[in-house]
Amino acid sequence: MSDAKTRIQDLIDSNDVVLFMKGTREMPQCGFSSRVAGVLNYMGVPYQDVDVLKDADIRQGIKDFSDWPTIPQLYVKGEFVGGCDIITEMTLSGELDQLLDQKSIAFDKAAAEKIREANA
């Protein structure tokens, strides 16, 4: 498992934003992964997607790494942010915008506002 931990740490260290998900950004394989990827895609956030379905070691390893039982998992500048429910709440409250601003991650502020308006 230490090999998986090293690979996970390398992915997190070498990308500003990483989404460990089921499937890919273009073809998510579960509703929760689809929701988070959809938010990031719509907001134009540059991120690395990691398909945990292609690697059982990474799939279990990311749960152990973060001590978080579910996938997807979003990391921003090395920090574990959360899964689908947390990312959804943060998007709707504007906290995700604040986090991305604080971490100097580019995103489309108007798109983020449209998400909030559509869910008001």
Torsion of the alpha carbons at 19, 24, 26 and 31, rounded to the nearest 10: -80
Which residues contribute to the annotated binding site for [2Fe-2S] cluster?
30
pTM of the predicted model, to two decimals?
0.96
Torsion of the alpha carbons at 12, 15, 20 and 24, rounded to the nearest 10: -160
Per the structure block, which two tokens stand in for 109?
Answer: 């502020």
* Amino acid sitting at position 91: T
* Amino acid sitting at position 72: P
CATH architecture designation of domain 2-118: 3-Layer(aba) Sandwich (3.40)
User: Tell me: the pLDDT tens digits for 20-59?
Assistant: 999 999 999 999 999 999 999 999 999 999 999 999 999 9
DSSP state of 52: G
Which residues contribute to the annotated binding site?
30
